[in-house]
């Protein structure tokens, strides 16, 4: 959820500021880009050099900066637009009071007031300060503005007292942010089943019948669904591709029969099912136990039909939104609509071998999305990552809008 996100960390003047070094490392480890704004008092508690080293970005404290004998300014509006999320941690009683009232007397507060992204606030202060009515008023005001308050915890405080007011631990802050980001996504709480890649149908221990599918389209669909908050089950045939996402469970298979059984396992609980795999229609009737030796000029293989995975899913469909793919070479639209109806699909993604850049093996695709009303939405040639976004936009529009 944080991979590639721009995180602006605002650090204010409390003893808990020392924990921000761990926060920065966790954000970086999660793949985020981090910039840090320190208030003047915060630098008494944590070193700007340490945070700059860990974040791999200069730490900013003031509006004015010196560059090669010239005076420039740190643009708070640009910082606010750059950030995908802002975290203020620790958030002192003083800073929260200013945020609640709209006071703007430092760079962090000016950036906060300019922000258009989600803002997370992690309060930290002593017990009596945290319980004071003015602090509660500030927290209530900040929550009413749409800010996400990360509750303080109980524990030993800097004063020696024991009670509420301790800033949440860095690991808990990261998990809180992840959960909040997921909860606001269009597929949060949904389960998505996707098939991808080719299948290999064995001839003997070393040879097989296969196809040129790279699996990239299915992998991009899985990544897009996961980024939209879904829990994804990716059933993939042999491919060199790797996907690293906490929301994606990869099930590796080889043959069409393997894929059939795996899809049956996950289909019942799925909300959305997309069959993007290039499944072999036929397999050898018998598989040689030993490598077939080259002898005669000709080799005859008897093929038998594989079970139709998409047809079977369509026959057993209940509440799932089922999407198939159709790669056609002629009468493209008619054949795709025929497949959609014959297999009881909710939609079908059509691509044509006649379109340059579409189909197997490449990084691009050109599709038309066709639903049960035979409504056709055609798209231009795009990268498969962009195509995956288009496909889910069409599904969400029809299923959840």
What is the set of active-site residues? 211
Burial class of residue 278, CB neighbours in 10 A (0-12, 13-18, 19+): buried
Q: What is the Cα–Cα distance from 340 to 333, expressed in whole angstroms?
A: 10
Q: How many CA atoms, within 13 angstroms, populate the side-chain half-sphere of residue 71?
A: 3
Distance, in Å, from the CA atom of 64 to the CA atom of 44, rounded to the nearest integer, reads 20
Instruction: Report the distance separating Cα 253 and Cα 269, nearest Å.
Output: 20
| Dihedral pair phi/psi, residue 313, rounded to 5° | -65, -40
- DSSP track, 63-100: SEEEETTEEEE--HHHHHHH-SEEEEEEE-HHHHHHHH
Pair of tokens at residue 3: 């991979």
User: What's the CA gap between 330 and 328, in Å, rounded?
Assistant: 6
Q: What is the dihedral of CA 41, 45, 47, 48, to 10 degrees?
A: -30
All residues at 6 or more sequence positions from 335 whose CB lies less than 8 Å from its CB, including other chains = 326, 328
44: DSSP letter? G
Q: Is 226 helix (H, G, I), strand (E, B) or coil?
A: helix
Omega before 90 cis (within 30°)?
yes
């Amino acid at each position: 959820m944080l991979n590639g996100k721009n995180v602006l960390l605002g650090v204010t003047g409390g003893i808990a500021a020392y924990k921000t070094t761990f926060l920065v490392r966790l954000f970086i480890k999660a793949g985020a880009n981090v910039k840090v704004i320190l208030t003047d008092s915060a630098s008494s508690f944590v070193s700007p050099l340490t945070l700059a080293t860990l974040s791999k970005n200069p730490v900013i404290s003031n509006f004015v900066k010196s560059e090669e004998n010239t005076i420039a300014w740190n643009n708070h509006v640009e910082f606010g637009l750059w950030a995908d999320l802002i975290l203020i941690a620790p958030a002192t009683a003083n800073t929260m009071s200013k945020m609640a009232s709209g006071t703007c007397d430092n760079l962090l507060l000016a950036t906060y007031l300019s922000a258009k992204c989600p803002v997370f606030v992690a309060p930290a202060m002593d017990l009596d300060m945290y319980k004071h009515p003015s602090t509660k008023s500030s927290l209530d005001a900040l929550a009413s503005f749409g800010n996400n308050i990360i509750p303080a915890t109980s524990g030993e405080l800097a004063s020696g007292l024991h009670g509420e007011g301790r800033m949440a631990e860095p690991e808990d802050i990261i998990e809180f942010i992840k959960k909040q980001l997921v909860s606001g996504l269009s597929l949060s709480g949904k389960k998505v089943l996707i098939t991808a890649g080719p299948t290999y149908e064995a001839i003997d221990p070393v040879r097989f019948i296969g196809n040129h599918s790279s699996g990239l389209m299915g992998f991009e669909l899985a990544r897009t669904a996961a980024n939209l908050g879904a829990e994804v089950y990716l059933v993939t045939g042999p491919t060199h591709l790797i996907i690293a996402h906490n929301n994606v469970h990869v099930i590796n298979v080889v043959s069409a029969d393997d894929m059939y059984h795996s899809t049956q396992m996950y289909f019942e609980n799925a909300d959305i099912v997309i069959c993007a795999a290039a499944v072999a229609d036929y397999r050898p009737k018998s598989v040689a136990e030993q490598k077939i030796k080259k002898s005669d000029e000709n080799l005859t293989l008897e093929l038998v039909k594989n079970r139709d995975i998409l047809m079977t899913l369509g026959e057993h469909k209940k509440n799932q939104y089922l999407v198939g793919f159709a790669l056609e070479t002629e009468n493209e639209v008619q054949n795709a609509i025929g497949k959609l109806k014959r297999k009881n699909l909710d939609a079908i993604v059509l691509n044509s071998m006649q379109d340059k850049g579409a189909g197997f093996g490449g990084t691009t695709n050109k599709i038309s999305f066709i639903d049960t009303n035979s409504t056709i939405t055609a798209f231009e040639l795009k990268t498969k990552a962009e195509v995956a976004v288009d496909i889910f936009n069409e599904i969400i529009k029809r299923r959840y809008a």
